[in-house]
C-alpha cells in the first residue's frame, strides 16, 4: 500500500494527480482520501473542483460506496413483512404526492433531459415497447387488473376474468365479473379519458365504453368503473382496492346500479 505524506506538502500538480488516482481510478470518497493524506474531506473536494476533476453526484456516490463496501445496502438480505412493505410503499407514495410544484418541475426537466440524450433508435425502440405493452394489456389485462383479480380471489370472491360470452351477441369483454353478485368491474386506464393516442382514438374509446356500459346495465348487472389516473404501484393499488370493496358492498346493499372510483 502506497504511503502518502501530509497533503499540504504537495504542489498543485501532485495534488491533482493524487486526487485523480484515488478518486477517479480507485473510486475512493473524499473522506477516505482525506484520511490517507492527513487532511479533511472538504479540502480535497474544493481542490477537485479547482483542478476540474469531475465530481460524482449523490446517486453515483451512493452506488460507489455500496460497491466498495463502505456502506451496507439498506434492504439487501432483509425479509420484511407484508405490513412493513405496505407502510414503506404508502410513505413513498405520500412523499411523491406532497412534492411542491417547483420540485416536480425540476424532476420533469431532468426526465426530459435524459430523454433528449437518447438516440433516435433508442427513442423509437421505447415507443415500440410502449405500444406493444398497451396491445398486450388489452389482451391479457393490465397490471392493475391482475392486482385487483389477485386481491378479490384472496378475499374469497368468485371472479371471471375478461369474461366475453356474458354480453350476448358481442365480443366485448368484461374486465372482471363477480357472478355470484352480478357485478361487473371495468378498469379504465388513461387512454379512456385522455388523448393519449390522439383525439380520434379517445372518441372511439369513449364510444366503446358507453356502449359497454349500456350492455352491462341493460342485462341487469351492476357496474363499477375504476378510473386509473396514476401509474401502477402496489401501495396506491391497495388503497384503490379498499375503495373497490366498499363500492361492492354499497352495490349489494342498495338500489344503486353503478359507481365510479379512482386512484
pLDDT tens, the chain, 263 aa long:
567 778 888 889 989 999 898 888 888 888 888 888 889 889 999 999 999 998 887 767 666 666 666 555 555 556 667 667 666 666 766 676 677 788 878 877 888 888 788 888 887 877 667 666 655 655 566 889 999 999 999 999 999 998 776 776 677 789 999 999 999 999 998 888 888 778 888 898 899 899 899 999 999 999 999 999 888 888 889 999 999 999 999 999 999 999 999 98
Question: Do 174 and 199 sit in the same domain of this protein?
Answer: yes
Question: Do 126 and 59 sit in the same domain of this protein?
Answer: no
Number of domains the chain is built from = 3
Q: Is the pTM of this model over 0.95?
A: no
Question: Do 256 and 154 sit in the same domain of this protein?
Answer: yes
Give 15: exposed, middle or buried? Use CB within 10 Å, 0-12, 13-18, 19+. buried
**Does residue 1 sit within a domain?**
no
Q: How many Cβ atoms from other residues are within 10 Å of residue 48's Cβ?
A: 21
Question: Do 165 and 233 sit in the same domain of this protein?
Answer: yes
Residue 213 belongs to domain spanning: 140-262
Q: d(Cα 249, Cα 209) in Å, to the nearest integer?
A: 24
Amino acid at each position: 500500500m502506497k504511503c502518502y505524506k501530509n497533503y499540504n506538502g504537495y504542489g498543485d500538480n501532485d495534488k491533482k494527480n493524487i486526487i485523480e488516482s484515488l478518486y477517479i481510478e480507485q473510486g475512493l470518497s473524499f473522506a477516505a482520501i482525506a484520511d490517507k493524506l492527513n487532511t479533511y474531506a472538504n479540502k480535497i473536494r474544493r481542490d477537485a473542483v479547482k483542478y476540474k476533476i469531475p465530481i460524482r453526484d449523490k446517486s453515483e456516490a451512493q452506488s460507489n460506496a455500496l460497491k466498495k463496501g463502505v456502506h451496507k445496502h439498506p434492504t439487501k438480505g432483509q425479509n420484511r413483512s407484508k405490513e412493513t412493505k405496505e407502510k414503506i410503499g404508502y410513505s413513498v407514495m405520500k412523499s411523491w404526492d406532497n412534492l411542491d410544484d417547483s420540485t416536480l418541475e425540476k424532476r420533469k426537466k431532468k426526465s426530459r433531459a435524459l430523454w433528449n440524450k437518447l438516440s433516435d433508435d433508442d427513442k423509437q425502440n421505447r415507443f415500440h415497447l410502449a405500444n406493444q405493452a398497451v396491445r398486450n394489456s388489452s389482451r391479457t389485462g393490465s397490471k392493475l387488473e391482475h392486482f385487483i383479480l389477485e386481491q378479490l380471489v384472496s378475499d374469497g370472491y368468485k371472479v371471471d376474468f375478461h369474461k366475453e360470452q356474458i354480453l350476448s351477441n358481442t365480443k366485448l369483454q368484461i374486465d372482471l365479473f363477480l357472478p355470484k353478485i352480478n357485478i361487473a368491474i371495468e378498469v379504465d386506464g388513461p387512454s379512456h379519458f385522455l388523448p393519449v393516442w390522439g383525439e380520434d382514438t379517445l372518441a372511439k374509446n369513449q364510444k366503446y365504453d358507453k356502449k359497454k356500459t349500456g350492455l352491462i346495465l341493460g342485462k341487469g348487472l351492476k357496474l363499477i368503473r375504476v378510473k386509473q389516473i396514476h401509474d401502477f404501484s402496489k401501495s396506491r393499488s391497495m388503497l384503490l382496492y379498499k375503495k373497490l370493496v366498499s363500492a361492492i358492498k354499497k352495490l349489494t346493499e342498495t338500489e344503486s346500479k353503478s359507481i365510479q372510483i379512482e386512484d
